[in-house]
């Protein structure tokens, strides 16, 4: 005689109904890794919809996707900010990484990377160690690709800079 594995038992009457139950409803190894990653991604990222307009200061401690309009200041120091294709931002941005698919008017400071994708537009200065601008993207401003994260407005001098004649 054999014993049925507890992990295989249906947990709800819906999953016992047969093949009409969605595969994603079954926990454990039966769920596909890509579906699991997608669900994890969706849980860890907040989204501001197209019809939302925010004026003021926006801070947070999770990844953020913006499809609406933001005016003011955005600060996500340890997280990723994604400006969707419908996003319109008029703000100073500080984040770990910024992905631009919409419009940004304002300076961007990132500790890791700024990525302006196709049809993305940035009108402002970028400070980040890595910057990617796709063909078809628009950019007007200056780029400062410093290795270390520096607060905006802080002058930076090379570590080995010495006045002439001190040899």
Is the overall model pTM greater than 0.75, yes or no?
no
Of 112, 75, 70, 69, the C-alpha closest to 93 is: 75
- Residue pLDDT, tens place only, 8-50: 444 544 444 444 444 444 444 444 455 654 554 455 677 888 9
pLDDT for position 146: 76
In the chain, domain spans: 45-138
pLDDT for position 47: 87
CB-based contacts of 165: which residues, under 8 Å, 6+ apart? Answer: none
* For range 83-108, the mean pLDDT: 97
- Residue pLDDT, tens place only, 119-129: 999 999 999 99
* For range 79-91, the mean pLDDT: 96
CB-based contacts of 159: which residues, under 8 Å, 6+ apart? Answer: none
pLDDT for position 66: 95
d(CA 40, CA 28) in angstroms, rounded, equals 14
Reading phi first (left if > 0) and then psi (alpha if -120 to 50, else beta), residue 52 is in beta
The answer to whether residue 136 scores a pLDDT higher than 70 is yes
The answer to whether residue 5 scores a pLDDT higher than 90 is no
Tell me the backbone φ, ψ of residue 103, rounded to 5 degrees: -115, 135
Of 86, 167, 90, 103, the C-alpha closest to 139 is: 103
Asked if 69 and 54 count as a contact pair (C-beta separation under 8 A), the reply is yes
| Higher per-residue confidence, 154 vs 127 | 127
pLDDT for position 35: 61
pLDDT for position 28: 45
């Amino acid at each position: 005689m054999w014993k049925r594995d507890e992990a295989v038992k249906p947990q709800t009457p819906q999953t016992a109904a047969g093949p009409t139950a969605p595969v994603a409803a079954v926990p454990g190894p039966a769920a596909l890794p890509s579906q699991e990653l997608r669900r994890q991604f969706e849980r860890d990222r907040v989204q501001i919809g197209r019809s939302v307009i925010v004026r003021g200061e926006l801070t947070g401690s999770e990844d953020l996707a913006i499809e609406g309009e933001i005016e003011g200041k955005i600060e996500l120091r340890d997280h990723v900010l994604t400006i969707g294709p419908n996003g319109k931002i008029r703000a100073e941005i500080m984040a770990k990484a910024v992905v631009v698919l919409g419009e940004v008017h304002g300076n961007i400071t990132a500790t890791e990377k700024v990525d302006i994708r196709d049809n993305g537009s940035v009108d402002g200065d970028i400070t980040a160690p890595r910057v990617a601008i796709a063909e078809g993207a628009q950019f007007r401003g200056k780029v400062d690709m410093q290795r270390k994260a520096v607060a905006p407005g802080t002058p930076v001098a090379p570590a080995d800079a010495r006045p002439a004649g001190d040899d």
